[in-house]
Amino acid sequence: MTLAVRYISARTLDTAPAEPSPPGPGEVELAPAFVGICGTDLHIFHGDMDARVAAPAVLGHEMSGRVVRVGPGVEGWRPGDAVTVMPLRWDDTCPACLAGHQHICQHLDFIGIDSPGAMQQRWTVPASTLIRLPDTLPLDLAALVEPTAVAVHDVGRAKVTEGEKVVVVGGGPVGILIALVARATGAEVRVVELSAHRRLLAKELGLTVWDPAADDIGALVGEWTQDAGADVAFEVSGAAGGVDTAVDVLGVRGRLCLVAIHPRPREVNLHRFFWRELTLVGARLYDRSDFERAVALVADGTIPAGRLISKVVPLTEAPAAFEALEGGDDVMKILVDCTTGTDHTHDAQGVAV
């Protein structure tokens, strides 16, 4: 018998025994090592996704772990292989899939939301979802591959190129990852963030950060771009003010990439879109190439994943970790350790101690 963290109802999680499901044809049984808690998990915890999530539901989709068993017909994988999972299952028959956009399948099963996720000690998934990890990459750091893949996809959707000026509005985990991926692409990057804790971390990572409560963002962008405006803005804040800022900083034919999930319709300055011929693009999830690039960026240290990990807790303390994340601004990423009952902290280099 193994343990799993389950969503029961709004603001109620438990840790309960779970019977592992043996891998069937084309499936692989994994032993999750570390699982990150993300904003979507918090939305589920708050009860905001009850129309979609069938309780009791095992959460978690940002993970790393190892193969335990392979099912019939599975080739190329063996017990002990280090992996992460691209948690998408599509139908290959809908118009989106037939157009080559399987990652936004019209009947998408997002594993960890629509079906059981990784926050358990044994997890059976389709072998097609596995992404190989290098043996040299520590598994705690590898748990950040999935959010890094989100950032890689976002930067690709915005078509960021070397030398462009990019503004990231919102300096939470995904915003910081977008800024780091854009910088690795050769762009000049500025981050706009209210939280002093998050601004400090961004500065420690070598990013230039502006405080919208204290700084005149428009004047700073004008000075930075010689009044041309930014080439690209990413809206990652999820706030109405963030939308306004992301639109206002853009220059002629600038691109706004919408990353945050806004819970309600927002007013948008469409005159600005008309006057400057702006472009709005949505960015959702990722594909396999995004994941593979994310693995490389985390493995070579371009993404200093350990610096983004605020805390690691044992599986039995996962419910309390969700509550800690609600405090928000002084916490970036909490990982759940599915392998042990021992708490961990990280030193300044992000090494488990």
Catalytic residues: 40, 43
Q: Which DSSP category does 114 fall into?
A: T
What whole-number distance in Å separates Cα of residue 337 and Cα of residue 127? 23
* Angle between helices 288-299 and 145-157 in degrees, nearest 10: 120
Q: How many CA atoms lie within 13 A of 132 on its CB side?
A: 8
* Structure tokens belonging to residue 223: 């000075």
Decide: 68 and 30 in contact? Cβ < 8 Å.
Answer: yes
Q: Please, are residues 297 and 289 in contact by the beta-carbon 8 Å criterion?
A: no
Rounded Cα–Cα distance for residues 160 and 295 (Å): 20
Q: Is 17 exposed, middle or buried (0-12, 13-18, 19+ CB in 10 A)?
A: exposed
Cβ contact 96:102 at 8 Å: yes
E strand or H helix at 191, and its extent?
strand 188-192
- In sequence order, what are the residues at sequence separation of 6 or more whose Cβ sits closer than 8 angstroms to the Cβ of residue 97? 90, 91, 105, 106
How many other CB atoms sit within 10 Å of the CB of residue 182? 25
Distances 182 to 138, 163, 191, 333, 340 between C-alpha atoms, Å: 24, 10, 11, 20, 36
What are 186's two structure tokens? Answer: 């050769």
Grouping H, G, I as helix, E, B as strand and the rest as coil, residue 172 is: coil
